[in-house]
Structure 1
Amino acid sequence: MDLPNFCMLTRKMGRIRSMHKRKRLQPERPIVTRAHSLTSSQQEFEKLTIFDAVETASVDDARFLLANGADLAALEPSTGRNALHLLAFCSETFRLRLEMLRFLILEAHLDVNAVDAHGDPPLFMFAACGHLELMKTLIEYGANWTLTNKKEQNVLHRACDVDQVEVCGYLHEKFGSAADPDGKLDRTLHVVNLSGRSPLHIVAEKGFVECANQILSAANDEASKCLLSQRDRAGRTPLQVAIVHGHSDLVALLLKQDDVGANYCDQLQRFPVHLAVDAIHGADVISLLASHGAVLNAVDERGDTALHWAALSGRLAVIQVLLNLGADPSVRNSDWELPVHVGASYGHLECVRVLLDAHKQSPGISSDDDILILEAELEQHQASGKSYYCYKAPSPTASMIRSSVASSSFSGDANNKVEYWDELHQEVQLVEESGNFSSEDEDFLDHDEYEEDEEF
């Protein structure tokens, strides 16, 4: 049996079942008022409800229930949804669903703005399911598109969450220009939720390129810049959210709309280039950011550059891309660490080698003695940290470092730095062995992504 005939037969069987339910509920004799007089067969009758009628989009069943005094405004116990909410999930033909929708509004007088347990009106359900024509009918009969649920999401949030491109386009065409005659950002349609996220943030998190393009193309240049500069509760723009979730195609689209966002930072002063280090396709995203003017040597609140982050995570490919694009390996953070120090501390041998080679060509390294000092620091990093990796200095004179540095004019600084790193890593080792980290220690070591609130 082919699929169309199977679907037709399934609907026919559903209507037959509904007809038998109605027949069983029709009284054949006067109603008995005493409960104990009911027979067991009568008690076993399956009860027809408005939810059954909505499931099959049977207006006949709904009218039968209305004629027999049934409560058509009944709510589903688990979700608090009425028949209008559940009609959004009906799989019958459009004609049957439209007839049922009109019946529920015009004859059963159900509230088109009734909310369920989550605060969602029926319009949200139809938007999330992509029923555009039924949405238009709901709005025609008084559905309020400005309502928000308990998470302060509006209908555009719900449509963006499931990539309903046509619904997004309709909402912008219908309400964006009407509510905003000057062409600026419509704060009613682009309201932020409890996490401070706009609909564009939701699209950026999910990676829906077409939906994002629909939102941005419906806005003029000024409104588009406002959308792209909106920040959530963590201070992140849609571009930064897209980077964190590894959506490189969407990153390219957002940068094309406004490349100024390549140098926006969040509340922790983390720039897009920092967030791209640990992201999926991080090397490609960093190349995109650099082509749109991103500052590769930007520092976060601890003074760490993207190279520090990459050295911490052992992202060799990212380090190579950053160096090729002109990132400076001689920038020190607030703890006076170079990226190569961070890589050595965490045992990323290949990263250390690449960074040390870059140091030899860096303007920040003025002489061979500076290279020797740096190699001494790295040797102490590895020795005091007791890494699983054994760092081998690329310089042939590294084995003579202790004697050569002592007679050098830089020997005092070198010895002080060696003692400093030795003492620091002994303390870190003791803390790691004890397993007792203070909040200050955790802040020092933490470069992971902050935990984002669950939206849905």
Structure 2
Amino acid sequence: MELRVEELRQEAEKLLMDVWNILPNDPNERVYSLYQIVCSQYETDPRESHRLYYFCSGFPPHFGTGELGHNINVGVGKMQRTLLHFAAEKNFQECTRKLLTFGFVDVNVGDSTGCTALHLACREGMKEIIKLLLKHPKVNINARDSTGCTPLHLVCRKGFEEITQLLLQQPESDVNVMDSTGCTPLLLALGGMHANSKACREGFQEIATWLLQHPHIDVNAGVITPFHLAAFCGNDWAVSLLVQHPDIDLYSRTAHKEMTALHMAACKDDADIVRMILDAVMRKTDPMWVRKGQFLSYQAYEQRLDVVKELLQSPGLDVNNRDERSFTALHLAVLRGHVTIVQLLLNHQNINLDIVTKCISDNDLERIRGWQEDGDWKKTPCPRLITYIPFQKVAGMTALHFALELVEEEAAIEDRSMEGMTGVVNVLLAHPNIDINIENENGESPLYGPLRRKLGPILIRLFGRYEDMVDPCVHLLRSYCKKGDLDMSLIDPVMEKLHTPLNRLNLKIDAAKFDTLPLIHKAVAVGKEELLSVLIDIQQLDDINAGDGEKRTPLHSAAIAGQMKSIQLLLIHPSLMANHEDLDNTCFLACLYELINIYLPLVSCSKCKQLVQSSIRT
């Protein structure tokens, strides 16, 4: 035996010298290349070939039949690979065939990464080696490496079509096994979890088709289903295949964000895929899922115009669907200031403009912030689900409330053009069914905000909706705002009364107090003739001669302030009583006695003449 080993050693050394320069640089690869050459040129028995391998690789030979089976399955080097590993990976077909004839060879032994010979052959696409390995009666086609991948995972990721067919033809092949990241072979065929890669958008169509045709395929398996992945990545052919599968779950949601595939397609603004999914839903199921889904709200806020158009064409869609805070798609479209989407929603025959929001609790706010700060699945650009919720704790807000608040912010805070939100306000006010009297929980109607910010153009549009009302307060504001002169010192008294719905106001303007003065007194005192002209034209006013706390009439106030034009406007009013006296028994002319430039022209008018004559008689 020792003589035979020596002869083999000498032959190996001679052969090594001849082929050294053409062998790979890696020492391990050189050993196995040499082993293949020796096996192909010498008809050595398995035991001596085994010993030659260990001798050439620097491992001491082990003698004895009892140890032979153990040693041939022992891995060497950093990767701890056996003869079968290297033969399979390097496509050494004759060597692989010979090793597989040994009854003691372990065809399923793994290297340091858990890869079997079949794993390595599949990863490198060695079709003939794979055929040899699959014929072995003990081969485990579902063996998993350290990452949980089976050989089928590897060929689906690489796109090896013929090898995929070979593996799928094996009756024991598991097509639904997940690797450590939750990927099934089908997910990998669609490009895996690399949602931004070209592979994920294109995938391997033939392989995916074969997998979907497998009798045991679970089309909904995976940490994220193939349906979600295809919809998110815009893979239209994959979506088309998946929606036709009889077992597809069109309603499945991701575990983390509770997203459906339709949500994902909508948030990616892919109208074609949205249409495919909606058509499938209508064909396969009761469309209640579409009607009650909240994806319309999400993509309305994300300003996905094409998708909004597609969804609004869906039969039975609930355009007024509310989330847990009663936000509708209209609220969210208004918050983004997208005039076209707002108009599309308003054109829907079932739109309800008067839905009000609910208050967001502190717990909800914390939960929402947590969702916003949480990372997306696999660090891919996941659609925003909760970011549309404004951190607004005031309840009872209609879409018009939000629109008018945003106009205020643009005008007063950011100093930007109001064209965007003004356009939203215009289309809302143009709708015949809008109710502009709804209060929020603070008792504020939509009119309150523009008044607070003195937004004259917006106020004029709002007042246009009150044309059929006779309330003097509304009449006053509408008329006064048309003159473009908004003085908050005069508007504040009226604003104090606008915390209640305008259609319930039963107030008289001259009874609205500000600094203890009725509004008409304040107007004449500061010389606001435009406002005064509006006030005296309102028929619902109380007696124009009503006094303040000291029984002074508006005429007294105008005289004390020396407002000539205001006095003239009051004097021509048919109901004016020019001889009214205050608590000091003083008429208005007495207040003007020292103002000769005003007094003299006035005493020539008929009412003043009568007053003077009456005073003389008295």
TM range (shorter): 0.5 to 0.7
Map residues 29-178 of structure 1 onto 2, 5 A cutoff.
Answer: 53-56=19-22, 81=28, 83-87=30-34, 98-99=40-41, 107=52, 109-110=55-56, 113-140=74-101, 144-173=106-135, 175=136, 178=137
Quick check: 1:338 aligned with 2:294? yes
SS at match of 1:190: coil
Query: When the two structures are superposed, what TM-score results if normalisation uses the length of structure 1?
Result: 0.59
Quick check: 1:200 aligned with 2:152? yes
Q: Specify whether residues 278 and 230 from structure 1 end up closer, same or farther in structure 2 by C-alpha distance, changes over 3 A only.
A: same
Q: Which residue of 1 aligns with 2:303?
A: 347
Q: Which residue of 1 aligns with 2:343?
A: 393
Cα shift at 1:138: 4.2
Letter in 1 for 2:328: E
Q: Specify whether residues 442 and 261 from structure 1 end up closer, same or farther in structure 2 by C-alpha distance, changes over 3 A only.
A: farther
Cα shift at 1:309: 1.2
Q: Specify whether residues 356 and 151 from structure 1 end up closer, same or farther in structure 2 by C-alpha distance, changes over 3 A only.
A: same
Q: Specify whether residues 376 and 117 from structure 1 end up closer, same or farther in structure 2 by C-alpha distance, changes over 3 A only.
A: closer
Q: Specify whether residues 288 and 331 from structure 1 end up closer, same or farther in structure 2 by C-alpha distance, changes over 3 A only.
A: same
Quick check: 1:230 aligned with 2:177? yes
Q: Specify whether residues 119 and 229 from structure 1 end up closer, same or farther in structure 2 by C-alpha distance, changes over 3 A only.
A: same
Letter in 2 for 1:381: L
Letter in 1 for 2:40: L
Letter in 2 for 1:291: Q
SS at match of 1:274: helix
Q: Specify whether residues 377 and 145 from structure 1 end up closer, same or farther in structure 2 by C-alpha distance, changes over 3 A only.
A: same
2:231 to 264, 277, 290: 277
Query: When the two structures are superposed, what TM-score results if normalisation uses the length of structure 2?
Result: 0.45
SS at match of 2:219: helix
Letter in 1 for 2:343: A
State the alpha-carbon separation in 2 of the partners of residues 237 and 273 from structure 1.
Answer: 12
Letter in 2 for 1:250: I
Q: Specify whether residues 83 and 376 from structure 1 end up closer, same or farther in structure 2 by C-alpha distance, changes over 3 A only.
A: closer
Residues 15-36 of structure 1 show CA distances to partners (whole Å, capped at 9, x for unaligned) of: xxxxxxxxxxxxxxxxxxxxxx
Q: Indicate if the aligned counterparts of 1:345 and 1:385 stay in contact, CA closer than 8 A.
A: yes
Cα shift at 1:390: 6.0
RMSD value, Cα: 4.5
Q: Specify whether residues 386 and 99 from structure 1 end up closer, same or farther in structure 2 by C-alpha distance, changes over 3 A only.
A: farther
Q: Which residue of 1 aligns with 2:335?
A: 384
Quick check: 1:405 aligned with 2:364? no
Residues 332-363 of structure 1 show CA distances to partners (whole Å, capped at 9, x for unaligned) of: 89xx97112222233322122212222xx13x
State the alpha-carbon separation in 1 of the partners of residues 141 and 327 from structure 2.
Answer: 60
Larger Rg: 2
Q: Specify whether residues 87 and 339 from structure 1 end up closer, same or farther in structure 2 by C-alpha distance, changes over 3 A only.
A: farther
SS at match of 2:273: helix
List alignment gaps of at least 5 residues for structure 2: 1-13, 58-71, 193-202, 382-618
Quick check: 1:317 aligned with 2:272? yes
Q: Specify whether residues 196 and 95 from structure 1 end up closer, same or farther in structure 2 by C-alpha distance, changes over 3 A only.
A: closer
Q: Specify whether residues 392 and 129 from structure 1 end up closer, same or farther in structure 2 by C-alpha distance, changes over 3 A only.
A: farther
Q: Specify whether residues 259 and 83 from structure 1 end up closer, same or farther in structure 2 by C-alpha distance, changes over 3 A only.
A: closer
Residues 202-251 of structure 1 show CA distances to partners (whole Å, capped at 9, x for unaligned) of: 1121122211111122x23xx24xx1132222343222332344222111
Q: Which residue of 1 aligns with 2:188?
A: 241
State the alpha-carbon separation in 2 of the partners of residues 370 and 239 from structure 1.
Answer: 35
Q: Indicate if the aligned counterparts of 1:239 and 1:261 stay in contact, CA closer than 8 A.
A: no
Identity of aligned residues (%): 19
Letter in 2 for 1:380: H
Q: Indicate if the aligned counterparts of 2:16 and 2:34 stay in contact, CA closer than 8 A.
A: no
Residues 136-191 of structure 1 show CA distances to partners (whole Å, capped at 9, x for unaligned) of: 23445776433211110110001111222221111111x2xx22xxxxxx6x4431
State the alpha-carbon separation in 2 of the partners of residues 261 and 107 from structure 1.
Answer: 49
Letter in 2 for 1:230: V
Q: Indicate if the aligned counterparts of 1:54 and 1:86 stay in contact, CA closer than 8 A.
A: no
State the alpha-carbon separation in 2 of the partners of residues 206 and 297 from structure 1.
Answer: 30
Cα shift at 1:329: 7.8
SS at match of 1:343: helix
List structure 1 segments (4+ residues) > 6 angstroms apart after TM superposition. 94-97, 100-104, 368-371
Count of residues in Structure 1 that have an aligned counterpart in Structure 2: 329
SS at match of 1:405: coil
State the alpha-carbon separation in 1 of the partners of residues 29 and 82 from structure 2.
Answer: 10
Q: Specify whether residues 342 and 157 from structure 1 end up closer, same or farther in structure 2 by C-alpha distance, changes over 3 A only.
A: same
